[in-house]
Amino acid sequence: MFKLYKKLKPLDWVLTFLIIGFTVLQVYCTMTMVDYVSGIIKAISYLNYHNNPSLLGDTIYQAFTSIFGGDWANVTTSSLAALGITGSNADMILAVANASTEQIWFNGGMMILLALSTAVIQAIISVIASYVAADLSTSIRSQVYEKVSSFSLKEIHSFSTASLITRTTNDIQQVQMANLMMMRMIFAAPITAIWAICKIQASSTQLTIATAIAVVLLLVIVMSIILIAMPKFTSMQKLIDKLNGVTRENLTGIRVVRAYNAEKYQEDKFEQANDRLTKTQIFTGEVTALMSPAMTLIMNGLSLTIYWIGATLMNKAEIEYSTVTSFSVLASQIIMAFMMLMLMFVLWPRAMVSAKRINEVLETEPSVVDASSSVEPTEKGTIVFDDVCFRYPEGKEDVLSHISFTAKKGQTIAFIGATGSGKSSLINLTMRFYDRTSGKILVDGVDVKDLSQEKLHSLFGYVPQKGVLFSGTVKENIALGLKDLTDEEAKKAADVAEADEFVSKMEGGYQATIAQGGKNVSGGQKQRLCIARAVALNPEFFVFDDSFSALDYKTDRKVRENLNEYAHDATKLIVAQRIGTIMDADTIVVLENGKAVGIGTHKELLNNCPTYRSIALSQLSKEELGL
């Protein structure tokens, strides 16, 4: 948690010290109000004695009537001294003599003024604390988001998407709530407790001991509860990760779930995760719920003890009733202060778990990072793989072994192979979503590790296998990453991708709304909009990761023809399953179990690569292949 406080802005630190100052002022008002509580009790008691002097006792009453003539105005310090009445007894009699309703009104008015001042100060503290806590959470949330955005696929997969979402939302919310409560309580509690303890020590040793015993009991009970609940707080956030993962999986795969009538299966998975989380929450709730009755019992028990001891001391004339009352108020303040601290101890463990999870994200260094100094490209439109091997993190075997090929400007390089042969992995290495294990990858004559990621990615127009659209308009999706794309440029890109036909029929045209994930367009339409997005960039390289699979043969061929005409100078990397999509490529790389078993043109591979020939014959006849 303390690591996160380094992210507080200078203004936040100023406001935090301001909270401390207001807290001291609040405690001062509270402690001073206790003095006026004692004062008003004394004023009422003395006024009662003033009006009914017989209540003072026979000795004092007889002296009052016989010596002073029953007139309080005759009672002075000198007259009392003449009678041998000095010290506290003389002070009390003089206070009774001078008692009036004005003293009651004064003490009562000061109590009201101090109570209002305390309320105003508490409101100010709450507003400032809310601002500081929210500002810190906003800063942390932004940093976590930026950190996650910098992660390679390795880090994202190691955390899991569901966990990263939980850490960015729920965990930061837990930290914000703990910080808000802490700034409101953590300063007030110790200041109040210390101030009150200092005041009560001067009143009565016996009452102070009783209060100390109550505080120790309170600490023992609360610490026991925390030690029991702490492990559950740790597992709770992981269970939230699991619940989010199940929910996300169900929503993203809803069509498959319904197609297979697997709703009950998914519901059971959700219920299992939900039940585990619920049981953990119930357990922590039941354990922490013991704190409230324990505190209430200790507070009420302390009050009874104070009045019992106080009554005994009053009978011995060692203490006044007003002192017992003010001591009771001070003792309540001490218990309340420790109750606030204990409440913090309840919130703190879960917040600490959340803070640790947040710090894990912030302290994770991306495996793919820019070089200390970026190198400018020496060529244009070239890609070279030189004996490249790649193994996924935690993997035991290479998924790509000794891959070598060269793509020159304007050429089309195609990759084909069975599922799991390493085609998409090769594309990921080209754009440096992962770093190769060994070998060299050169883009425009420069090792990809020596190019900044921003520069490298700006060279590529990437179309993934699964089209991804974002909530917004058609134009906003085509212009992703571009700030000044005109309507004409967006339409031209859509023309190349054969998307203008259906976009123009949509209500609003290029300003038509696209739902999150492109749920309101078909798979083929989604893929064509993704191709239009790549075209709009006018990149040096086009990367199509099996992007034509959602298109029919006619549209597939038309889009490739448009690309060859519109971007004939651009180098194209195509991953495909259809022979018809790649047979016109300048170079075809055939992959099998992560190895390049054939490199050449369509005709060359038909004659010298059995794997390619087998794939081709499974899709087209010998006549169509020219065999």
Task: Flag whether 370 is in a domain.
Answer: no
Task: Flag whether 619 is in a domain.
Answer: yes
Task: Flag whether 376 is in a domain.
Answer: no
The mean pLDDT value for 4-20 works out to: 86
List, in sequence order, the alpha helices (H) in 459-601.
474-478, 487-496, 500-503, 523-536, 553-566, 579-582
The mean pLDDT value for 351-373 works out to: 83
Residue 83, both tokens? 């009678």
Q: What's residue 88's pLDDT?
A: 66
Residue 389 has pLDDT above 80, yes or no: yes
Closest CA to 38 of 225, 310, 259, 261: 310
* Better-predicted residue by pLDDT, 311 or 593: 593
Task: Flag whether 466 is in a domain.
Answer: no
Would you say how long the chain is, in residues? Answer: 627
pLDDT-derived band at 201, boundaries 50, 70, 90: low
Same domain for 60 and 176, yes or no, is: yes
Task: Flag whether 421 is in a domain.
Answer: yes
Task: Flag whether 270 is in a domain.
Answer: yes
Contact, 368 vs 432, CB < 8 A? yes
Same domain for 319 and 413, yes or no, is: no
The pTM assigned to this predicted structure is 0.69
Same domain for 342 and 277, yes or no, is: yes
Same domain for 39 and 170, yes or no, is: yes
Would strands 472-473 and 412-417 be described as parallel, antiparallel, or unpaired? unpaired
Residue 196 has pLDDT above 80, yes or no: no
The mean pLDDT value for 559-581 works out to: 88
Same domain for 491 and 505, yes or no, is: yes
Closest CA to 167 of 341, 4, 342: 4
Same domain for 120 and 225, yes or no, is: yes
Q: Give the total number of structural domains in the chain.
A: 3
Tell me the CATH number at 314.
Answer: 1.20.1560.10
Task: Flag whether 142 is in a domain.
Answer: yes
Task: Flag whether 368 is in a domain.
Answer: no
Residue 573 has pLDDT above 90, yes or no: yes
* Better-predicted residue by pLDDT, 10 or 62: 10
Sequence-distant (≥ 6) Cβ neighbours of residue 484 within 8 angstroms: none
Q: What's residue 165's pLDDT?
A: 84
Same domain for 525 and 547, yes or no, is: no
Q: What's residue 540's pLDDT?
A: 92
In the listed set 518, 533, 548, which residue is the last one of a domain according to the structure? Answer: 533
Q: Which domain holds residue 516?
A: 471-533
428-455 confidence digits (pLDDT tens)? 899 888 888 899 999 998 999 888 888 8
Contact, 391 vs 397, CB < 8 A? yes
Same domain for 187 and 287, yes or no, is: yes
One-character DSSP codes across 508-520: TGGG-EE-GGGTT
Contact, 23 vs 187, CB < 8 A? yes
156, containing H or E segment: helix 153-159
Same domain for 486 and 455, yes or no, is: no
Q: How many CB atoms lie within 10 A of CB 316?
A: 8
What are the phi and psi torsion angles at 405 (to 5°)? Answer: -165, 165
59-102 confidence digits (pLDDT tens)? 666 666 766 666 677 777 777 776 677 776 677 777 777 777 88
Contact, 451 vs 500, CB < 8 A? no
Question: Which range, 34-38, 182-186, 368-372, 534-538, has the best average confidence (pLDDT)?
Answer: 534-538
CA Rg value for the chain: 40
Q: What's residue 113's pLDDT?
A: 92
Same domain for 478 and 580, yes or no, is: no
Q: What's residue 322's pLDDT?
A: 67
In the listed set 330, 363, 396, which residue is the last one of a domain according to the structure? Answer: 363
Residue 234 has pLDDT above 80, yes or no: no
Tell me the CATH number at 393.
Answer: 3.40.50.300
The fraction of the chain above a pLDDT of 70, given in percent, is: 92
Whole-number Cα distances in Å, 214 to 34, 218, 338, 343: 21, 6, 11, 17
pLDDT-derived band at 277, boundaries 50, 70, 90: confident
Residue 334 has pLDDT above 80, yes or no: no
Same domain for 339 and 403, yes or no, is: no
Mean pLDDT of the chain: 83
One-character DSSP codes across 49-102: HHH-GGGG-HHHHHHHHHTSTT-GGG--HHHHHHTT--HHHHHHHHHHHT--HH
Q: What's residue 180's pLDDT?
A: 83
Same domain for 504 and 449, yes or no, is: no
Would strands 541-545 and 571-575 be described as parallel, antiparallel, or unpaired? parallel
In the listed set 332, 363, 394, which residue is the last one of a domain according to the structure? Answer: 363
